[in-house]
Amino acid sequence: MSEIPVSLPAAERFSAEQAVAAGTDFAELRVGPQGLFWNEFRPRDGACRIWHWRHGQAHCLTPDGFSVRSRVYEYGGGSFCLSDDGLVFVNESDQQIYTQELQAGVPQPLTQGERRYGDLRWAAGQVLAVEETHAADQVEHRLVAIAAQQREVLAEGADFYAAPTLSADGSRLAWIEWSRPEQPWTATRLLCRERMNDGCWGEPRCIAGDQGPAQSLQQPRFDGRGRLYCLSDRNGFWQPWGETAEGWSALPAANADHAAAPWQLGACTWLPLGEHHYLATWLEDGFSRLALCHADGSQQPVQTAYSRLRCLDLDQDRLYAIAASPTSPPAVIAIDRKDHRVQVLAGGAAPLPAECISRPQSLCYPSGDGIAHGFFYPAMNGAKRPPLIVFIHGGPTSACYPALDPRIQYWTQRGFAVADLNYRGSSGYGRAYRQALHLRWGEIDVEDACAVVEHLADRKLIDPTQAFIRGGSAGGYTTLCALAFHDVFRAGASLYGVSDPLALARATHKFEGDYLDWLIGDPQKDAERYRQRTPLLHAASIKVPVIFFQGELDAVVVPEQTRSMLEALKANGIRAEGHFYPSERHGFRTAANLAHALEEEWKFYRQVLGGL
């Protein structure tokens, strides 16, 4: 019988409910003449609400019955923007655009129908947006400009669009688009239209991405003089490029990613300030850095205690961001532009005393023919060689960050060490590292998950005989592959995880319609590769217990996948447990369900170790 990990005394640790309640997050923020606005998600009711901060006070603008969240491309983003007299937002339940005056307070519908909207931008009295329509089996996207009783199509014909951006004088419109089978982090194009003398838009012109090696472009921006800038990974990292007298060229920048993979719309990790000066945040070994960058290559670092910074904005006096650190959860912060003094405007309250928080240690370890990255969190009970839980993030082209995660602290307080991995294929370490997953999903990510156990065991930081693995979505696939094809882990947990890639390809949405071809290969030509990497077909190879958590409304990984895997394991006599949540989609949002899943996973691991 294995030794049960020793938890901190009950009075010193927090429960699953407390861990979930500490998961308040912020999606995006905007600053304008009427103050600062942000979108806040609270697990208590699963709703997203806009808050307004001005003159040192914050109050909620979103009335009951509304939740501000877009579902364009299923992952949404860019769910609100500021108008001249208030704000404009996408309501979660009907995906329509609403306007809301600051004084009146009652949202009014701007659109009606079955269309979805996201990536909202206010420009010249209109709302620029990505529009999504569903008709039978056909899903189409376009860029539109919407005003009262008017709708103008700005661009159509490409498969996907993002980031419609208008210059300050209204003479130039820029956007990002891409075509299948590409993903927004593999190859996109930057396009621009000029306004003609008669007020109409001229023909679209491709500025970048149509020639030469494939590059991913994101976050186009105009400066005050109408010059166009954009992030491009043409030189190996997402870095700022801009228009110059000589053409399109790179700005002096840190040799690092200045953005994450654009799974969601509306990201803002950099802002041009004119004359090739810009404000930016970028990643070094997974940690965020923030600085004012100048045309001569010099930088003015903005030192903070935060390890993750996103959603930048600024006014004459302050910089604003959503930030988190190893000891504090996400917060809306303001940074004085003169003395860099930081003020927390919302969030950021640590759910635990600092001495009870496990701090991340950077991991860089050999795996296969390369190296992998991640973060190690020691167990908080002082055990020299505790059991380990390997966290696998979703995506899989996504990332984890060294910021306080209540879920991780939940485990470290119960005597587990945690390895939070940025396996090869994750974003934040450059294009080559990200592209390493091409055709190798279910192979190198699994290799990295297994290698970290050996690496930590060699350093005598964990007990390799008591290693567990867990992951959600794509992370669930890596988890199941690791359990099916390697004898490393004692048990695993799959949260809405992929067990049958081909079934995912048949049922998934347009945004990821070709993703499996990039990750594994063509389903017909590479059928054998799919067979080799399908956990459901190798369920008989899984000899350890597995627990599953699944939303019944999930449109990305449909419930039938999880049920098939669960039944296959049970048929083989393997201990398997499944929990299905009728109201959840892809990624759980209801506090009670989140807490229930966390508690049931803990009970499951204790049972595996002989504790119950």
Report, as an integer, the average pLDDT of 245-271.
94
Asked whether the predicted pLDDT for residue 327 surpasses 60, the reply is yes
pLDDT tier, 8 (very low <50, low <70, confident <90, very high otherwise): low
Is the pLDDT at 1 greater than 60, yes or no? no
Instruction: Indicate the helix (H) or strand (E) that contains 581.
Output: strand 576-581
Cα Dmax for the chain: 81
Instruction: Provide the pLDDT for residue 7.
Output: 62
**Crossing angle of the two packed helices 444-458 and 474-485, in degrees rounded to 10:** 70
Average pLDDT, rounded, for the chain: 93
37-41 contacts at long range (C-beta below 8 A, 24 or more positions apart): 37/61, 37/80, 37/82, 37/87, 38/322, 38/332, 38/346, 39/68, 39/79, 39/80, 40/346, 40/347, 41/589
Q: Give the model's pLDDT for residue 203.
A: 95
First to last CA, the chain: 12
Res. 341: pLDDT tops 60:
yes
Determine the pLDDT at residue 246: 79
When computed from its CA atoms, the radius of gyration of the chain, rounded to whole angstroms, is 24
* Percent above pLDDT 70 for the chain: 98
* pLDDT above 90: residue 206: yes
In residues, how long is the chain?
Answer: 612
pTM for the structure as a whole: 0.93
Alpha helices, DSSP H, located in 325-375? none
Percent with pLDDT over 90 in the chain:
84
- What confidence category does residue 421 fall into, taking pLDDT thresholds of 50, 70 and 90? very high
What are the structural domains, with CATH classification, of the chain? 10-17+362-500+544-608 (3.40.50.1820)
In sequence order, the β-bridge partners of residue 241 are 230, 250
Section 120-146 average pLDDT: 95
Mean pLDDT confidence for 302-308: 94
User: For residue 612, what pLDDT is reported?
Assistant: 46
pLDDT of residue 3: 57
For residue 13, pLDDT beyond 70: no
What digits encode the pLDDT tens for the residues 447-470? 999 999 999 999 999 999 999 999
Task: Express each pLDDT in 20-40 by its tens digit.
Answer: 877 789 999 999 999 999 999
Q: Mean per-residue pLDDT for 465-478?
A: 96
Q: How confident is the model at residue 12 (pLDDT cuts 50, 70, 90)?
A: low
Q: What is the pLDDT of residue 456?
A: 98
* Pair of tokens at residue 94: 């009907």
Each residue's pLDDT tens digit, 349-388? 988 899 999 999 999 999 999 999 999 999 998 888 999 9
Ordered alpha helix ranges (H), 107-211: none
